[in-house]
A and B are shown apart, each in its own frame.
Chain A
Amino acid sequence: MSKISTNFTNILIPVFAALMGLLFGALIMLFSGYDPVLGYTALFEGMFGTPRAFGETIRAMTPLILAGIAVGFAFRTGLFNIGVEGQALVGWLAAVWVGVALDLPKPLHVTIAIVVAAIAGALWGFIPGLLKGRFGVNEVIVTIMLNYTALYLTSYLIKRYIFAGNEKSENIKESASLQSPWLSEQFGFSRIHYGIFIALLMAIVMWYILEKTTLGYELRSVGFNKHASQYAGMNVNNNIMYSMMISGGFAGIAGSMEGLGTFGNMTALTHFTGIGFDGIAVSLLGGNTAIGIVVSALLFGGLNSAAPSMNFNADVPSELVRIIIALIIFFVASSYVIKYVISKYSKEDK
């Protein structure tokens, strides 16, 4: 009985947090002189209202699923990977590079580009993993610093080697692209691409590794209790490295979705994309589970992609979406309060 009620609470809290975020967002609209009904109608229309809107929502959620998986995987094994942003950037560049430089038949080219992106992200995750595993350096600090390293390194490499002008890299070859005119047409000529299937597949992969494999068993064990893992004969240091590499691999694939799917190139960025950081929020709201991450990526992706249309159609500033996202995170983080309220009410029922 307690098992069912915990599961129930685990689902109830994010749902409650999302609703509270929207409710307080409405209050903010009201107090700022906007019409919340109009604003939310426009927001909803922008998320799901037309095939095109839905296609764009799916496009936006694709990298968020992967970034969320990257964060969630590390978190489930006791690590806090703040470096998903940097790992995604490295993966993005690697994928674009393969897409630009190689000449291969279509399915192979795309596959190799994604695999190379995963390897690049994994290598970027290996650095903090090694430092943590071998020397006990805090992974949070190292990954934050590596985010900046990745940002400026990718910009430099683009400008130095594959620059096409206008702050952009050369475009990838058709054979490396995830875009599909046919799929795009089904969704009102939106930028939706095949990447969503890869993202969903990776969500399954995350769940499978963690729950079904001996590697996942070890990784979770190390995450929960290092001492008991050592006692059981596991190699704790190696497991920390593996975990950061797998997490980085997912992040690298997240980056490749932008390079091979949405844009077909990479911009020499001067600021972060936010994918990695949104990934933290997505994973948090999704309770660090594969299915939860997919659902919360849908919400966050939708909010992001619908923000401009809310601005056009209801004149509500698109920044409101960031406020709503912040509120949702706030309410998830204060889940203790929600749990307390729930337990209070369920007691009174009895």
Chain B
Amino acid sequence: MEFVIEMLNIRKEFPGIVANDNITLQVKKGEIHALLGENGAGKSTLMNVLFGLYQPEKGEIKVRGNAVKITNPNIANRLGIGMVHQHFMLVHNFTVTENIILGSETTKNGTINIKDAAIKIKELSDRYGLSVDPYAKIEDITVGMQQRVEILKVLYRGANILIFDEPTAALTPQEINELIDIMKKLVSEGKSIILITHKLKEIMAVCDSVTIIRRGRGIKTLDVSATNPDELAALMVGREVNFKVEKGPANPKSTVLDINDLVVYDARNLPAVNGLNLEVKAGEILGIAGVDGNGQSELIEAITGLRKVASGIIKLSKNDITNKPTRKITEAGIGHIPQDRHKHGLVLDFTMRENMVLQTYYNKPYSKSGILQNDVIAKKAQQLIEEFDVRTPSDLTLARSLSGGNQQKAIIAREVDRSPDLLIAAQPTRGLDVGAIEFIHKKLIEERDKGKAVLLISLELDEVMNVSDRIAVIYEGKIIEIVDAKQTTEQELGLLMAGGNRNKEVENNE
């Protein structure tokens, strides 16, 4: 069998760590080859070596059987290797064509020849079923479409080997399916694809073979048809992973959070939450399912005091907390794992130690008459780091330098440790790998079993269904239905999330 890319025994060191240790990756012509590994396992480093951004200390790279030295990205381009970046590199007020030809403009008598380029792009787009309009402006097209522009950019430069770096991170489920079709189309036209990912579902759906990397080492290369998600997860993490979240039955008690007729306006002054009613009881996990933008963010912000409530009442254990300052609400007993951990959850330029007391720094024993008690804070931070297995060199490390999973663990440690009556978890596992996801789900269930109320908001339907006891479906700012997590199905939830009513037929018959 012919390999288009062979990376043999690659070793890449950085001061203090070996990022790639003896990794071998062999990609066959016309296949989709997955590169699987946890965050920080060395996937990106390996691809940067292939793309000429890093020079390996050891090892050999062969392209179509010929040994090559790739010392910069231009050489990679000339060899037909193209990278579709995770973070799009597009000029927003340029058209698709302008973006694609950027850096290799076709000129005619010293002026740019947009027309010819647009025709060529149109051809490419049609051949691979991308349906991109060459004259559309980037700022006017969807994220999924922008990604296709990135793909076109690579194809336009004549790439035969495409590297996709976590391509589905920003896409909706619908767009993911479309991307999968495009990838299949690309290989059927003779291209080869390397897919960097930590999502097992995608590998099973689209890839032919998979190479697993763990902590910088190449673990194994497998045929996807001869493996299953459980085996892949175990190989990736290095131990058995439990997908099915293990939990006993819920034991709901008194109502902790009680929301009545809540109306909240969004930034454009439109009602994002519009007459919402919801109860969360002690000892249960209530999941909120819904398509993004149906008022989830505004609901959380209203509960936590970050956004004004226009009308309605929010009660926490019978106390009215409507429009109270955030600090009062926090003190009343709400923990909040925010949606955006970099924006809200952490002060990235603070040390881990400082971040661990973000809401409690002014209280005893962390502060005495306005003076921080550093040794007490340090002890607390070290205890939480230990307990929640936050992998950080020390408690004086800046939050910025930790991986996403460890940052999230730190936030969860901080919020859970305050032992709030109500824990709000918004997208708690976004962007994390299976090991970290498993850990976080376990923690949420632990809190439930301690008799706390947990409000889980997630765009991942799997997560909502696996972790919650009851599922409330939010649509256009209202809870339109509450279902039992054990009895509902993906189809039913999907229908409800789209605004459908499962009782419609019954009502019509009456």
Question: Which A residues are within 8 Å of any B CB, using their own CB?
Answer: 1-3, 212-215, 217-218, 220-221, 224-225, 227-235, 350
Tell me whether B344 and A221 are in contact (CB under 8 A): no
A231-B16 in contact given A213-B370, A214-B362, A214-B372 (Cβ < 8 Å) = no
Give min CB distance, A31 to chain B, whole Å.
Answer: 39
Is the CB of B396 closer than 8 A to any CB of chain A? yes
Contact A230 B306 (CB under 8 A): yes
Q: Which residues of A contact B304 (CB under 8 A)?
A: 231
B343 touches A213 (CB 8 A): no
Q: Which of B255-263, B287-295, B310-318, B323-331 contacts A (4 or more CB under 8 A)?
A: B323-331
Q: Are B348 and A231 within 8 A (Cβ)?
A: no
How many Å lie between the Cα of A77 and that of B219 in the bound state? Answer: 47
Q: Are A231 and B338 in contact (CB under 8 A)?
A: yes
A304 and B326 CA atoms in complex are apart in Å by: 50
Residue B283 at the chain A interface, CB threshold 8 Å: no
CB of A90, distance to nearest CB on chain B (Å) = 28
Can you list 18 A-B pairs with a CB-CB distance of less than 8 A?
A2-B16, A212-B371, A214-B362, A217-B372, A220-B350, A221-B347, A225-B348, A227-B343, A228-B344, A228-B345, A228-B346, A230-B344, A231-B326, A231-B344, A232-B358, A233-B325, A233-B326, A233-B329
Residues on B with C-beta less than 8 A from A213 are: 370-372
Contact residues of B between 51 and 77, Cβ < 8 Å to A: none
- If A232-B359, A233-B359 touch, whether A215 touches B344 (CB-CB below 8 Å) is no
Complex alpha-carbon distance, A212 and B367, angstroms:
10
B116 within 8 A of A: no
Proximity bits, B351-365, A CB within 8 Å = 1, else 0: 000100011011000
B349 in contact (CB, < 8 A): yes
Output the least CB separation between B413 and chain A (Å).
15
A224 touches B347 (CB 8 A): yes
Interface residue from B327, B331, B358, B371 paired with A228 (Cβ < 8 Å): B358
Does B15 make an interface contact (CB < 8 A)?
A: yes
Please tell me if B336 contacts chain A, counting CB pairs below 8 Å. Answer: yes
Q: How large, as a class, is the contact surface on chain B?
A: 20 to 34
Most buried by B among A2, A3, A212, A228: A228
User: Of B327, B328, B354, which one neighbours A217 at CB under 8 angstroms?
Assistant: B354
Contacts of A215 in B (CB 8 A): 370
Give bound CA distance, A220 to B367, whole Å: 16
Is B327 touching A227 in the complex (CB atoms < 8 A)? no
Given A214-B362, A221-B358, A227 contacting B372 (CB threshold 8 A): no
Cβ–Cβ < 8 Å partners of A214 in chain B: 361-362, 367, 370-372
Query: Quick one: which of B15, B327, B370 contacts A350, CB cutoff 8 A?
Result: B15
**Assembly CA distance A83 to B354 (angstroms):** 31
Give chain A nearest CB distance to B165 CB in angstroms: 25
Q: How far is the CA of A77 from the CA of B240 in the complex (A)?
A: 47
CA distance in complex: A189, B325 (Å): 59
Query: Across the interface, do B345 and A231 meet the contact criterion of CB distance under 8 Å?
Result: yes
- Give 10 new A-B contacts, CB below 8 A, not counting A224-B348, A231-B326: A214-B370, A217-B361, A224-B349, A225-B346, A225-B347, A228-B343, A228-B344, A228-B347, A231-B304, A233-B359
Instruction: Report the minimal beta-carbon distance from A234 to chain B, rounded to whole angstroms.
Output: 8
Q: Please, how many angstroms separate the alpha-carbon atoms of A218 and B354 in the complex?
A: 11
Complex alpha-carbon distance, A150 and B328, angstroms: 40
In the complex, are the beta carbons of B344 and A227 less than 8 A apart?
Answer: yes
User: For A1, A214, A215, which residue has the most chain B Cβ atoms within 10 angstroms?
Assistant: A214
Task: For the complex, give the distance between the alpha carbons of A215 and B362 in Å.
Answer: 9
Give chain A residues whose Cβ lies under 8 Å from the Cβ of B371: 212-214
Most chain B CB neighbours (cut-off 10 Å) among A217, A221, A229, A230:
A217
* Chain B positions near chain A (C-beta within 8 angstroms): 15-16, 304-306, 325-331, 336, 338, 343-350, 354, 358-359, 361-362, 367, 370-372, 374, 396
Residue contact B16 to A1, C-beta cutoff 8 Å: yes
Residues of B within 8 A of A225 (CB): 343, 346-349
Measured CB to CB, the closest approach of chain B to A117, in angstroms, equals 24
Are A231 and B370 closer than 8 Å at their CB atoms?
Answer: no
Q: How far is the CA of A11 from the CA of B99 in the complex (A)?
A: 42
The CA-CA distance from A227 to B327 in the complex, in Å, is 14
Residues in B neighbouring A217, C-beta threshold 8 A:
354, 361, 372
Q: Is the CB of A229 within 8 A of B347?
A: yes
Q: How far is the CA of A235 from the CA of B329 in the complex (A)?
A: 14
Residues from chain B with a CB closer than 8 A to the CB of A218 are: 361-362
In the assembled complex, which residues on chain B have CB atoms less than 8 Å from the CB atom of A234? 327
When chains A and B are docked, how far (Å) is the Cα of A1 from the Cα of B304?
40
CA distance A300 to B361 in the complex (A): 38
How far apart are the CA atoms of A213 and B396 in the complex, in Å? 18
User: In angstroms, how far is the closest chain B Cβ from the Cβ of A4?
Assistant: 12
- In the complex the two chains form, is B306's CB within 8 Å of A231's CB? yes
CA–CA, A15 and B311, complex, Å? 59
A235, B326: Cα distance in complex, Å: 9
CB-CB < 8 A to B354: which residues of A?
Answer: 217, 221
The reply to whether B361 and A231 form a contact with Cβ atoms under 8 Å apart is: no
CA distance in complex: A230, B354 (Å): 16
CB distance from A233 to the nearest CB of B (A): 3
Chain A residues with Cβ under 8 A from B15's Cβ?
A: 1, 350
Residue ID in chain A nearest B325 by CB atoms: A233
Which chain A residues lie closer than 8 Å to B374 at the CB level? 212
A269, chain B: closest CB distance, angstroms: 38
Contact call A221/B350, Cβ cutoff below 8 A: yes
- By beta carbon, the residue of chain B nearest A216 is B372
| Residues of the B chain whose Cβ atoms lie less than 8 Å from the Cβ of A221 | 347, 350, 354, 358
Q: Which residues of A contact B370 (CB under 8 A)?
A: 213-215
B482, chain A: closest CB distance, angstroms: 28
Query: What distance in Å separates the Cβ of B289 from its nearest Cβ neighbour in chain A?
Result: 24
CA distance A317 to B362 in the complex (A): 55
Question: Which residues of A lie under 8 Å from residue B358 when comparing CB positions?
Answer: 221, 228, 231-232
> How many angstroms between the C-alpha atoms of A237 and B435 in the bound complex?
40
Query: In whole Å, how far is A348's beta carbon from the nearest beta carbon of chain B?
Result: 12
Q: Among B330, B343, B396, which residue has its beta carbon within 8 angstroms of that of A233?
A: B330
CB neighbours of A350 from chain B (8 A): 15
Q: How far is the CA of A230 from the CA of B15 in the complex (A)?
A: 38
**What's the least CB distance linking A316 to chain B, in Å?**
43
Contacts of A230 in B (CB 8 A): 306, 326, 344
Cβ contacts under 8 Å, B346 to chain A: 225, 228
Within the complex, the shortest CB–CB distance from A142 to chain B, in Å, comes to 26
How many Å from the CB of B324 to the closest CB on chain A? 10
Chain A residue nearest to B397 (CB atoms) is: A3
A228 and B327 CA atoms in complex are apart in Å by: 12
Q: Would you list the 4 A-B pairs with minimal beta carbon distance, nearest first?
A: A233-B327, A233-B326, A231-B344, A232-B358
Give Cα A287 to B5, complex, Å.
48
A224 and B359 within 8 A (CB): no
Complex CA–CA separation, A220 to B305 (angstroms): 22
- Within the complex, what minimum Cβ distance (angstroms) separates A349 from chain B? 10
- Beta-carbon nearest neighbor of B338 in chain A: A231
In angstroms, Cα B357 to Cα A218, docked, is: 11
Whether B326 pairs with A3 at a CB distance below 8 angstroms is no
Which B residue sits closest to A350, measured CB to CB? B15
- Contacting pair A224 B350 (CB below 8 A): yes
- C-alpha gap A303/B336 in the complex (Å): 53
Query: Once bound together, how far apart are the Cα atoms of A3 and B16, in whole Å?
Result: 13
Closest CB of chain A to B394's CB: distance in Å? 8
Q: For B338, list chain A residues within 8 Å (CB).
A: 231
For B360, the closest partner residue in chain A by CB is: A232
| Complex CA distance for A224 and B398, rounded to whole angstroms | 12
Bound CA span A215–B370, Å: 7
Chain B proximity of A160: nearest CB distance (Å): 41
- Docked Cα-Cα span, A213 to B374, in Å, equals 10
Q: Nearest chain B CB to A227's CB is how many angstroms away?
A: 5
Known contacts A3-B396, A217-B372; is A231 also within 8 Å of B336 by CB? Answer: yes
Name the A residues within 8 Å of B362 (CB-CB). 214, 218
